[in-house]
Amino acid sequence: MRHIISVLLENESGALSRVAGLFSARSFNIESLSVATSEDLTASRMTIVTSGDDAVIEQIVKQLDKLVDVIEVSEITSNEHIEREIVFVRINNSEIDKKIMDKLESYEFLKIHNSKSNDLIIECVDSPENINQFVSTIKKIAVKIVRSGAVGINSN
């Protein structure tokens, strides 16, 4: 099962590699990883998407919590939460027809940017499921697809 783990850790050199090393040493796979500064400028929020049964995830959380730089760890997918991803898709302007444009307009969180090379860059921010649908809709005409990992927060 897919899980999102949120880790608040100190902005220290090597903190990211210690977290990645924990996953690597135990043969756990990181499906996506997103890191940015948090509300506290001395700490960063790391969002890790991984898979495993509840026992494996519990073990990961406990081991992450033991790392020196880690301030707080929580597995957020077991509770009500909101998660989003962002994807940018570059397409050649000549590839868009009315049918595709109608489909694109059905996505709620979509922005279209013009590039200097006369391509369109489409930005979509949505749930991973909707991002998957969007990508499958447009991948045949995509020149390039750049996708972030998920970020999430508990909603209760």
pLDDT in tens, 36-84: 999 999 999 999 999 989 998 999 999 999 998 999 999 999 899 999 9
The predicted model scores a pTM of 0.85
Q: What is the pLDDT of residue 106?
A: 74
Residues 6 and 71 in one domain: yes
Greater model confidence, 92 or 77: 77
Q: Residue 35 in contact with residue 59, Cβ under 8 Å?
A: no
Task: Tell whether 91 and 117 lie within a shared domain.
Answer: yes
Question: Is 71 in the same domain as 99?
Answer: no
Range of the domain at 91: 82-154
| Local structure of 3: helix, strand or coil | strand
Kindly state whether residues 121 and 66 are assigned to the same domain. Answer: no
Chain-centroid distance, C-alpha 77? 13
Same domain, 70 and 22: yes
Residues of the chain above pLDDT 90, percent: 62
> In terms of Cα–Cα distance, which of 97, 142, 150 is closest to 121?
142
Question: What average pLDDT score do residues 143-153 get?
Answer: 94
Query: Which CATH number does the domain housing residue 99 bear?
Result: 3.30.70.1150
Number of domains into which the chain is organized? 2
Same domain, 141 and 93: yes
| Alpha-carbon distances of 62 from 7, 124, 146, rounded to whole Å | 12, 34, 32
